[in-house]
């Protein structure tokens, strides 16, 4: 571990100063596209207008013989596209792959000034982040970049989960962490064959009602990802960085996708991945606090005055702790509304209904 005094010193002579705080920028959906796919490439400008983050994916889902095409495509797209308020991220190949060095040696000099965040897959511990941290500093110095590129870790190995706290705290570049349920399931040797979501076999059953164990018993499907999401959220909150749910692979099942995203939102995540244009609106809806909830939170804050003591509002006790929860909701709503006029109008309309 680095000395606290050195933590915010650049790791290479001439590299930009590390950031002291991770800026909160809306990132409700991290929209994945294949930069080597001409159809997707043609849509990136439109996607940037709809999404908080667009991510040029270079890792899994890009065939081995198309890695270079994807990397070159990302360079072209980054140079040619006006991303407006949207962020541009990339997911590089894993650190043990034959492609990752070329990913970083190409992207940082060519488009380092356009890239906000680099997602590193299959991170297993702080050592992986330290490696990327130093290499990025060297490349940023050589490229003359004035702003550091932030790093996002993908939590998708059993070792990564065991070390999630040290990963979150490994570098001032750490922007956030996403749960990768597909690779994590494989790494843990879970007996599933899906990308995120529940499983009908993972359930609890009510007690028997008589002699016959087969009748009158209800079953409830359980959440396979609860423990990992909660642990990731705690690690991120401790480190002052942002947690995300990752992919939901059943593109057709927009209902279960919304449920999975909402579970993550309620547990503290700020966004999720969209793999298909259909999932963009789902993430936008789920990760934007509900207007009625925001109006309620504003009311609690107003009625609680300096935020101390206890009051009753509509039969519910409010005190210092509920005010803090309400401030989380309101500050998120304000930050999102500042970038999303449609949401700003929805919040204003709800305020007017309440008044
Ligand atoms: C476990 C993990 O690592 S998850 C992360 C890695 N995986 C990914 O990044 C997958 C990204 N998504 C995709 O590759 C695609 O959405 C697929 C393969 C799942 C489905 O693709 P398709 O079969 O083409 O879907 P579909 O026919 O519904 O597409 C409709 C249109 O949306 C486009 N489209 C589909 N996905 C995307 C996307 N992610 N971004 C932009 N456009 C897209 C298609 O090109 C098509 O365009 P067209 O109308 O001009 O023909
Ligand atoms: O990369 C994501 C995953 O779920 O694996
Ligand atoms: Mg993965």
Name residues with Cβ closer than 5 Å to ligand 3, which is an ion.
Answer: 156, 180, 183
* pLDDT score at 354: 62
- pTM for the full predicted model: 0.97
Is 39 domain-assigned?
yes
- CA–CA separation, 317 and 302 (whole Å): 15
Among 264, 287, 310, the domain boundary falls at 287
pLDDT at 106: 98
Among 87, 81, 73, which Cα is nearest to 35's?
73
The C-alpha atoms of residue 258 and residue 220 are separated, in whole angstroms, by 18
Find where tokens 């571990």 sit. 1
The C-alpha angle with vertex 253 and arms to 247 and 255, in degrees rounded to 5, equals 95
140 is in an annotated binding site: no
CA of 314 to the centre of ligand 2 (A): 43
Pick from 339, 299, 288, 352: which is nearest to 323 by CA?
299
- For tokens 């650049």, name the residue: 10
pLDDT (mean) for 236-253 = 98
Residue nearest to atom 29 of ligand 1 (CA): 276
How far is residue 271's CA from residue 279's CA, in Å, rounded to a whole number? 12
Q: Are residues 133 and 203 in the same domain?
A: yes
pLDDT grade for 355, boundaries at 50, 70 and 90: low
Q: Would you say residue 17 lies in a domain?
A: no
Ligand 1 contact via 94 beta carbon (within 6 Å) = no
According to DSSP, the β-strands at 87-91 and 29-33 are unpaired
104 and 55 within one domain? yes
Task: Answer yes or no: is 124 a known binding residue.
Answer: no
* Cα dihedral sign, 238-242-248-252: positive
Domain of 114 in residue numbering reads as: 29-287
DSSP state of 340: -
Q: If you search the block for the tokens 């499907």, which residue do you land on?
A: 221
Q: Which of 119, 194, 195 to mutate to test the pocket of ligand 2 (most atoms within 8 A of CB)?
A: 195
Clarify whether residues 306 and 346 are in a common domain: yes
pLDDT of residue 321: 97
pLDDT surpassing 70 at residue 165 = yes
For the stretch 4-55, pLDDT in tens is: 899 999 999 999 999 999 988 999 999 999 999 999 999 999 999 999 999 9
Phi and psi angles of residue 301, each rounded to the nearest 5 degrees, phi first: -60, -45
What is residue 154's predicted lDDT score, i.e. its pLDDT?
98
Collect all residues with Cβ–Cβ distance below 8 Å to 217 and sequence separation of at least 6: 205, 206, 207, 208, 209
Q: Looking at the structure, tell me whether residues 283 and 306 fall in a common domain.
A: no
pLDDT per residue over 134-151, tens digit each?
A: 999 999 999 999 999 999
Q: What is the predicted pLDDT for the residue at 25?
A: 93
The answer to whether residue 299 is domain-embedded is: yes
**Residue where a domain stops, chosen among 235, 258, 287:** 287
Distance CA(115)–CA(128), nearest Å, equals: 20
Residue ending a domain, among 231, 263, 287, is 287
Regarding an ipTM greater than 0.85, the answer is: yes
Nearest atom within ligand 1 for CA of residue 57: 9
Q: What is the pLDDT of residue 335?
A: 95
Pairing mode, strands 316-318 and 272-274: unpaired
Which residue, by CA, sits nearest to atom 15 of ligand 1?
276
Query: What digits encode the pLDDT tens for the residues 94-135?
Result: 999 999 999 999 999 999 999 999 999 999 999 999 999 999
Number of folded domains that form the chain: 2
Whether residue 147 sits in one domain with residue 104 = yes
Contacts (Cβ under 8 Å, ≥6 apart) of 167:
123, 125, 126, 128, 129, 153, 155, 160, 174, 177, 235
Q: How far apart are CA 106 and CA 67, in angstroms?
A: 13
User: Is residue 207 marked as binding?
Assistant: no
Residues 282 and 308 in one domain: no
Task: Report residue 330 as tokens.
Answer: 């309101």
Instruction: Give domain status of residue 22, yes or no.
Output: no
Residues 190 and 280 in one domain: yes
Q: Are residues 59 and 192 in the same domain?
A: yes
Under a CB-based contact definition with an 8 Å cutoff, are residues 115 and 83 in contact?
no
Say yes or no: 305 and 265 in one domain: no
Q: For residue 92, what pLDDT band results from cuts at 50, 70 and 90?
A: very high
23 in a domain, yes or no?
Answer: no
Work out which ligand 2 atom sits closest to the CA atom of 59: 1
Q: What is the pLDDT of residue 1?
A: 77
Give the mutation target among 57, 197, 246, 249 for probing the ligand 2 site: most ligand atoms within 8 A of CB. 246
21 found inside a domain: no
CA atoms within 13 Å, Cβ hemisphere of 128? 26
**19 occurs within a structural domain:** no
Is the CB of 44 inside a 6 Å radius of any atom of ligand 1?
no
Q: Does the residue 3 lie in any domain?
A: no
Task: Please report, for the domain that includes residue 213, its CATH number.
Answer: 3.20.20.60
Measure the N-to-C terminal CA separation of the chain; round to a whole number of Å.
53
* Closest C-alpha to 176, from 306, 99, 87: 87
Q: In b/e form, how buried is each residue of 242-278, taking b as 16+ CB within 10 angstroms?
A: bbbbbbbeeeeeeeebbbbbbbbbebbbbbbbbbebe
Same domain, yes or no, for 345 and 261?
A: no
User: pLDDT for 285-329, tens place per residue?
Assistant: 999 999 999 999 999 999 999 999 999 999 999 999 999 999 999
pLDDT-based confidence at residue 352 (cuts at 50, 70, 90): confident
Q: Indicate if 279 and 296 belong to the same structural domain.
A: no
Protein residue closest via CA to atom 3 of ligand 1: 60
Q: Is residue 277 located within the same domain as residue 176?
A: yes
- With contact defined as beta carbons under 8 Å apart, do 117 and 153 qualify? no
């Amino acid at each position: 571990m680095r000395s606290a005094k050195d933590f915010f010193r650049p790791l290479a002579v001439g590299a930009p100063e590390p950031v002291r705080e991770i800026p909160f920028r809306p990132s409700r959906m991290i929209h994945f596209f294949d930069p080597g796919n001409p159809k997707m490439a043609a849509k990136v400008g439109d996607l940037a207008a709809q999404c908080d983050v667009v991510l040029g994916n270079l890792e899994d889902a890009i065939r081995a013989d198309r890695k270079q095409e994807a990397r070159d495509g990302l360079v072209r797209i980054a140079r040619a596209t006006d991303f407006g308020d949207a962020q541009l991220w990339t997911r590089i190949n894993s650190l043990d792959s034959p492609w990752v060095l070329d990913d970083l040696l190409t992207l940082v000099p060519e488009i380092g000034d356009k890239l906000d965040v680099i997602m590193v897959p299959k991170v297993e511990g702080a050592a992986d982040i330290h490696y990327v941290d130093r290499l990025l500093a060297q490349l940023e110095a050589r490229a003359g970049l004035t702003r550091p590129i932030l790093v996002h870790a993908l939590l998708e190995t059993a070792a990564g989960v065991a070390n999630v706290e040290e990963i979150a705290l490994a570098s001032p570049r750490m922007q956030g962490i996403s749960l990768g349920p597909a690779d994590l399931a494989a790494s843990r040797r879970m007996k599933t064959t899906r990308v995120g979501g529940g499983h009908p076999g993972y359930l609890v059953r009510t007690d028997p009602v008589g002699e016959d164990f087969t009748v009158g018993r209800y079953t409830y499907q359980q959440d396979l990802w609860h423990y990992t999401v909660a642990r990731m959220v705690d690690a991120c909150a401790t480190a002052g960085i942002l947690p995300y749910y990752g992919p939901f692979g059943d593109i057709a099942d927009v209902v279960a996708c919304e449920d999975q995203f909402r579970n993550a939102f309620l547990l503290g995540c700020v966004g999720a991945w969209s793999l298909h244009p259909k999932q963009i609106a789902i993430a936008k809806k789920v990760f934007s606090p509900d207007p009625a909830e925001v109006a309620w939170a504003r009311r609690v804050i107003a009625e609680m005055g300096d935020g101390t003591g206890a009051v009753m509002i509509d039969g519910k006790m409010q005190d210092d702790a509920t005010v803090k929860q309400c401030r989380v909701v309101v500050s998120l709503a304000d930050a999102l509304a500042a970038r999303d006029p449609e949401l700003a109008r929805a919040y204003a309309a709800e305020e007017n209904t309440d008044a």
